[in-house]
Amino acid sequence: MLSSIVKPFAALALAAALISIVLAALGASPIGVFAALAGGAFGSWYACVDTLVKSTPLIFTGLAVSLAFSGALWNIGADGQLMIGAIAAGAIGPHLGDFPHLIAIVIILAAGALGGAAWGGFAGWLRARRDVNEVISTIMLNFVAIQALSWVVHGPLMEPSGAYPTSAPIASAAQLEFYFAPSRLNLGMLLAIVLAGVCYLLMFNTSAGFELRAMGRNRRAATFFGVRIPALTVWVMALSGALSGLGGAVQVSAISHRLYEKLSPGWGFEAIAVALVARLNPLAVVPAALLFGALDNGSQAMQRTQGISPELVQVIQGLVILIILAFDTPAWSRLREQIFGDDEQPAVPAVAALPAA
């Protein structure tokens, strides 16, 4: 357990070392750059809060991906599901002015979850009934979602003056408030953390979650023991989509208050990295998302003070993921065994290392 917490940080340090070499080669000061990065992410109360805000959609989508991946359902469509959820929220949001705040919030978030669930559930249905590989269907549905968002902000949901490609703002009753103005911290973050706990309980403390994990580890054995694979596939994909859609609705309700193109900078894809770094553990998704959120947030300060492009942050993120995954090998497990003793079970034992007879 300890090493699974230490490991991402070790990977981060190794990534930092590699980046330092690149920075030094470019003639920049690695220490200055990293100080700016850290300062931008955690240097002030405001920076910390903004890091949390930037992490929120990553927690939602990261949970969505973790859940689906645990069942070996490769949902690459969290981004599209998030956008459809946002569209549903953005469509219903302007009409909630007459409702009490709490009810309006529930409606707008439910709309987002339902939108995402429909999008994810459809991919699940295609897999379960028509045997369409969910990797393909979710990628294709991402394209559809991107164009759907573009269409609604230029067409049916375009703001009344018709001057800008955005939707009309949602009613103030449907807006999640900022509790630490001027920062944008809102209840969405809390909801995301609560849902991380719920997802954990679902996966590890319920019969349905067990069936999900069994399906993910060995689909055939699960079939032999009466797990209803098609139904489970549709439900899990719908639930995964609902989590992403909820992330989109929170973004609309709390931050953007309206729809616009490029609403998502690719959270649904970054979510895959978040989920893998968290090794699909919903509780670990929260710190993993914070890590990526901090990198996103810090990159802006880095750009301002050091003149380094924010793209470099993406390079750092890429290296972190690669290094974490590269360390998650049998060789690493054996090393860990020698250092920490063999009490910890490797995630997947190498077949050759089993005492077969």
Partner 1 sequence: MLRANAITKRFGRTLALDGVDFEARPGEIHALLGENGAGKTTLMNVLAGSLAPDGGEATLDDAPLLAGSPRAALDAGIAAVHQSPMLFERMTWEENLALGGFDQAAERLDLAAVATRARALAAKLGFELPPAGTTVENRSVAERVRLEVLRALSFNPRVLILDEPTSVLAPSELNAFLDLLRNLRAEGRIVVLITHKLAEAIAVADRITVLRRGRVVARTTPAETSEEQLAELMIGEIVIQPDAGAARRHPGETVLQIENLVLDDYPRRRILDGISLRIGAGEIVGIAGVDGNGQTELVEVLAGVRQASGGTTTSDGAMAVIPQDRDLDGLILDMRLWENMILARPLREQATSYGWLNATRAIDLCRELIERFRIQAPGPETLAGALSGGNRQRLEVARAVASQPRVIVAHNICRGLDLAATAEVHRTMLDFAAAGGAVLLISSDLDELLAICGRLLVISRGKTRETNPGERDPGRLGLLMAGARD
Core vs surface per residue 22-48: b (16+ CB within 10 A) or e: ebeeeebebeebbbbbeebbeeeeebb
Question: Which C-beta is closer to partner 1: that of 161 or that of 345?
Answer: 345
Q: How far apart are CA 298 and CA 317, in angstroms?
A: 12
Q: With CB under 8 A as the rule, give the number of residues binding partner 1.
A: 31
Question: Which C-beta is closer to partner 1: that of 131 or that of 311?
Answer: 131
- Dig out the tokens for 147 from the structure: 């164009």
Helix (H/G/I), strand (E/B), else coil: 287:
helix
Query: What minimum distance in Å lies between the beta carbon of 128 and partner 1?
Result: 15
Indicate which single residue of 206, 230, 231, 304 sits in contact with partner 1 (rule: CB under 8 A). 206
Considering only 66-74, 140-148, 203-211, 246-254, which stretch makes contact with partner 1 by CB under 8 A? 203-211
Between residue 299 and residue 328, which ones bind partner 1 under the rule CB under 8 A?
none
Query: What minimum distance in Å lies between the beta carbon of 348 and partner 1?
Result: 5
- Dig out the tokens for 202 from the structure: 């679902």
- Look at the chain and count its residues: 357
Query: What minimum distance in Å lies between the beta carbon of 181 and partner 1?
Result: 41
- Region for residue 333 given its phi and psi (left: phi exceeds 0; alpha: psi -120 to 50; beta: otherwise): alpha
**Please, is 104 exposed, middle or buried when counting C-beta atoms within 10 Å of its C-beta (0-12, 13-18, 19+)?**
buried
Question: Which C-beta is closer to partner 1: that of 33 or that of 276?
Answer: 276
Question: Which C-beta is closer to partner 1: that of 10 or that of 221?
Answer: 221
Question: CB–CB of 69/280 below 8 Å?
Answer: yes
Query: What minimum distance in Å lies between the beta carbon of 204 and partner 1?
Result: 8
Considering only 18-26, 111-119, 207-215, 299-307, which stretch makes contact with partner 1 by CB under 8 A? 207-215
**Please, is 21 exposed, middle or buried when counting C-beta atoms within 10 Å of its C-beta (0-12, 13-18, 19+)?**
exposed
- What backbone torsions phi and psi does residue 111 show, to the nearest 5 degrees? -60, -45
Considering only 40-48, 177-185, 204-212, 273-281, which stretch makes contact with partner 1 by CB under 8 A? 204-212
Question: Which C-beta is closer to partner 1: that of 10 or that of 198?
Answer: 198
Contact between 156 and partner 1 per CB under 8 A: no
Indicate which single residue of 207, 262, 311, 338 sits in contact with partner 1 (rule: CB under 8 A). 207
Q: How far apart are CA 277 and CA 300, in angstroms?
A: 23
Q: How far apart are CA 315 and CA 334, in angstroms?
A: 29
Question: Which C-beta is closer to partner 1: that of 182 or that of 224?
Answer: 224
Question: Which C-beta is closer to partner 1: that of 58 or that of 212?
Answer: 212
Contact between 352 and partner 1 per CB under 8 A: yes
Nearest to 170 by CA among 261, 245, 254, 57: 254
Between residue 214 and residue 233, which ones bind partner 1 under the rule CB under 8 A?
214, 217-218, 220-226
Measured in whole angstroms, how far is the alpha carbon of residue 125 from the centre of its chain?
22
Contact between 213 and partner 1 per CB under 8 A: yes
Query: What minimum distance in Å lies between the beta carbon of 343 and partner 1?
Result: 10
Question: CB–CB of 202/208 below 8 Å?
Answer: yes
Binding site for partner 1 (CB under 8 A): 204-210, 213-214, 217-218, 220-226, 337, 342, 345, 347-349, 351-357
